[in-house]
Amino acid sequence: MNQQLSTDLYQRHYKRGIAEYRRGNMAVAKQCLLKASEVLFQIASAASGPLRETRKAKAQQMLDFAKSIKGAPDPGVRRAASLYDESSEGHSKGDLWIVTELPVVRWNDVAGLEDVKAVIRKRVVHPFQHPAVTLKYHKRIGGGVLLYGPPGTGKTMIARAIANEVGATFFSVRCSDIISKWVGEAERNLKELFVTARSRPRSVVFMDETEALVPRRGGHSTVMNRVIAEFLGQIDGIQGRDQGILLLGATNRPWDMDEAALRPGRFGELIYVSLPDFAARRQIVALSLDGIPLAEDVDLDEIARRTEGYSGADLADGICEEAKDGPYEREIASGISQRLEVSDLERAMGKIRPSVTNSSIEQYNRFQQR
């Protein structure tokens, strides 16, 4: 498992473990945190020097905490587990969403989308990298940017690349995790998230599923209306103070968001992340098959031509993964080294269909023209 996949797996187990602990689901919390510590030990073993020892110590602390979970939370255990509970001195719920290691994704890992990258460099990366010039011309540092488009087009990868470029503390938030059935809890979660972000010199707050947090008002409960109001107030706060906080929203359904969140001064920059073009499709396939033995007649240009309308995820996680099953299974059965053949790709392209429909693309086009 590569470094990025290991880090993502660790974060997933860790965040769920903390969430279940707070809900009082101790058995599930213990299981998730045990898995998180196991993955973190694996990550530590791949590192070297002081970083290796730091990760091992953190993994051991998490393992000890997980083993201590029995029944209802014990106040003594909660104080001892300072890294894992918001009640501990110096920590808050906002810390939960911090990605402790900067993503390894770089701009070159984001296939295509050159126009999107150009806008992001101008509006997002350059203000963080050149603050003196930005202040000279009275350009705003930070603010709100909404990435929208079909699922699987690379919005999350773009956010990770931005965090890497600007060297900021990276907060990764799934908006559905903010929402709580307890009245007032979601508002507190939001407040603590932004308080923590403001405490760092530079912060990139990436909020996925943004439509879940700021849906259109009207038929929703008074609780959700208060959550929306709190969120809009927090955006106004970071816009007005130039605090070096970049808020990155991502959504597949921008038309379901409250219009007040989309006006200038809040999510002031709306960037459409479209399906990959020919060059991007070829790059995605090339990256996905990098290091895989290929038959001489495998033509990446031909694959790119035949996959118009496919998302990046359709190509990388669908067609390429399915195609690799052929040589993988043949080599296990025969014990002889195999190559990925054209027939493997043909089978995969016949099985995997585009996940984004024409009607969806038309809906995105109408939203752009609104």
Q: Which long-range contacts (CB under 8 A, 24 or more apart) does 264-268 make?
A: 265/236, 265/239, 266/144, 266/232, 266/235, 266/236, 266/239, 267/144, 267/145, 267/146, 267/235, 268/143, 268/144, 268/145, 268/239
What is the rounded distance in angstroms from the CA atom of residue 255 to the CA atom of residue 234? Answer: 22
pLDDT, tens digit, for every residue of 347-364? 999 999 999 999 999 999
Model confidence pLDDT, tens digit, residues 35-87: 888 888 888 888 777 677 777 877 887 787 788 776 543 333 332 233 333 33
What is the rounded CA–CA span in Å between residue 64 and residue 61? 5
Least confident of 15-29, 37-51, 61-75, 294-308: 61-75
CB burial of 259-269 (b: ≥16 within 10 Å; e: otherwise) equals ebbbeeebbbb
Write down the residue that tokens 């984001």 correspond to.
Answer: 110
Range 107-272 has CATH code 3.40.50.300: yes
Put residue 36 in one of left, alpha, beta given phi > 0 → left and psi -120 to 50 → alpha. Answer: alpha
Q: Are 289 and 316 in contact (CB under 8 A)?
A: no
Domain boundaries defined on the chain: 3-91, 107-272, 278-359
Give which of 8, 67, 85 is closest to 40, Cα–Cα: 8
Q: Which CATH architecture has domain 278-359?
A: Orthogonal Bundle (1.10)
Burial tier of 41 (Cβ tally within 10 Å: 0-12, 13-18, 19+): middle
- This prediction has a pTM of 0.67
Q: Give the length of the chain.
A: 370
Gap between the Cα atoms of 193 and 190, Å rounded: 5
What gap in Å lies between CA 2 and CA 103, rounded to an integer?
Answer: 13
What is residue 340's predicted lDDT score, i.e. its pLDDT? 96
b/e map of 110-129 (b: 16 or more CB within 10 Å)?
Answer: bbbbeebbeebeebbbbbbe
Separation of alpha carbons 175 and 187, rounded Å: 12
Indicate the average pLDDT of the chain: 79
Identity at 65, one-letter amino acid code: F
**Per-residue pLDDT tens for 99-139?**
655 556 777 777 777 777 777 777 767 877 787 888 788 77
Higher pLDDT, 334 or 93: 334
Quote the crossing angle between the two packed helices 321-334 and 342-351, to the nearest 10°.
Answer: 130
**Three-state DSSP class for residue 276:** coil
Residues 12-31, mean pLDDT to the nearest whole number? 77
Same fold yes or no, 107-272 and 278-359 = no
Q: What's the confidence (pLDDT) of residue 220?
A: 55
